[in-house]
Amino acid sequence: MLYRNIGKPVFFRLDPEKAHHLVIGGLHKVSAMPGGVPLLKSLFGIKEAPELSVDLFGLHFPSPVGLAAGLDKNAEAVEGFSSIGFGFMEVGTVTPKGQPGNEQPRLFRLPPDEALINRMGFNNYGAEAMADKLAALQSRPIPIAVNIGKNKTTPNEEAYNDYRKCIQALYPQADFFVVNISSPNTPDLRNLQHGSELAELLKQVVGEMESQNSRHGAAKAVLVKIAPDVTDEELEFMVDTISASGVSGIIATNTTVSREGLQHPHARETGGLSGKPLQERSTEIVGRIYRQTGGRLPIIGSGGIFSSEDAYRKIRAGASLVEIYTALIYEGPEINRRLHRGLRDLLLRDGFKHISEAVGADHR
């Protein structure tokens, strides 16, 4: 109620990108203050429930609900976000060299649709700057995934070099990596999801991960984040290629370019749409991936999660973990406690002792 009654009315009067920077800056400052992290935990944190904790990729996730990439692009507020009930978080998308992204305005709220449209364009300070931020962290209570992409000026045939450079710069600091080939806001990026380009890119990424593992003596997971705007045939090919590549899992899905059913005038804006309108399609894709792989390839479900029922549908469809982003903007940090409590109730309702028993339950 604190956010809904006080924070949201203030933030929603501001330009969305200015509000975004205020949140990141505010969380960073509070967590850096003496007693700031305990304060955030007391206000918004959750107590770990054994039935909801997940062990995956050699990591321990205290909650199955994480923060999707795009909010903390430069790893500036990791300690703050780690204190408000998330079980993991993605930082980025980061590129080898810093870049300003697309021209403003580039972030739009659609309140009647409970959605956002962004065309940020991978604005970030670069891989080395992020590595410094992560190396300076005082604590890491949850797994941190680094979401990596290519610079706008890098042609697709050379894109693998950018992903390798990000891995090289950030391998010691990341708990796992996410390869972003599905943002609609970098020209031609989504073409990397298809044909021989996907197989070659993943071959290069997996090779770099293995090289860094040998160098550092620590095996780390790498996942691929895919778009929802694909045909059934394209999705089947992508999943087959990803499965054969040796990567550790899939995140389904990124934002959509679809505008079906939207009410707000901002629906005319270009960019990637996130929020409730994406919910059904992303859950459908989670289920298709799970069926195609027989549940052997871990999935993180992302897209349109606003309630524990939304999260649970993705889990029953096949997701081992889930992520939120837009719901945090609309509902505030209290949402994590509601999701946590609701998921426990849903497991009890269905007679599951642990959340892993619910993963893919709709297919059994």
Tens digit of each residue's pLDDT (9 = 90 or more) over 112-163: 999 999 999 999 999 999 999 999 998 899 999 999 999 999 999 999 999 9
Using a pLDDT cut of 70, give the percent of the chain over it.
100
- Annotated catalytic residue, options 31, 63, 183, 302: 183
- Measured distance CA(54)–CA(52) in Å, rounded: 6
- Whether residue 248 is predicted with pLDDT greater than 80 in this model: the reply is yes
Largest Cα separation within the chain, whole Å, is: 54
Q: Which residues contact 13 (CB under 8 A, 6 or more apart)?
A: none
- Measured distance CA(199)–CA(81) in Å, rounded: 34
Q: Are 229 and 255 in contact (CB under 8 A)?
A: no
Strand 54-56, strand 124-126: pairing: unpaired
Sheet with 115-118: strands ordered across = 107-110, 115-118, 272-275
- Whether residue 195 is predicted with pLDDT greater than 80 in this model: the reply is no
Q: Tell me the backbone φ, ψ of residue 73, rounded to 5 degrees.
A: -65, -30
pLDDT of residue 352: 98
214 is catalytic: no
Q: Is 94 helix (H, G, I), strand (E, B) or coil?
A: strand
Instruction: Give 190's pLDDT tier (boundaries 50, 70, 90).
Output: confident
- Whether residue 1 is predicted with pLDDT greater than 80 in this model: the reply is no
- Burial, 269: exposed, middle or buried (Cβ in 10 Å; 0-12, 13-18, 19+)? middle
> What mean pLDDT is predicted for residues 187-208?
90
Beta bridge pairs of residue 117: 108, 273
Q: Is 129 helix (H, G, I), strand (E, B) or coil?
A: helix
> pTM for the complete prediction?
0.96
Span 43-63, pLDDT tens digits: 999 999 999 999 999 999 999
- The structural domains of the chain, with segments of one domain joined by +, span 2-363
Q: Tell me the backbone φ, ψ of residue 218, rounded to 5 degrees.
A: -145, 115
CATH code for the part of the protein at 2-363: 3.20.20.70
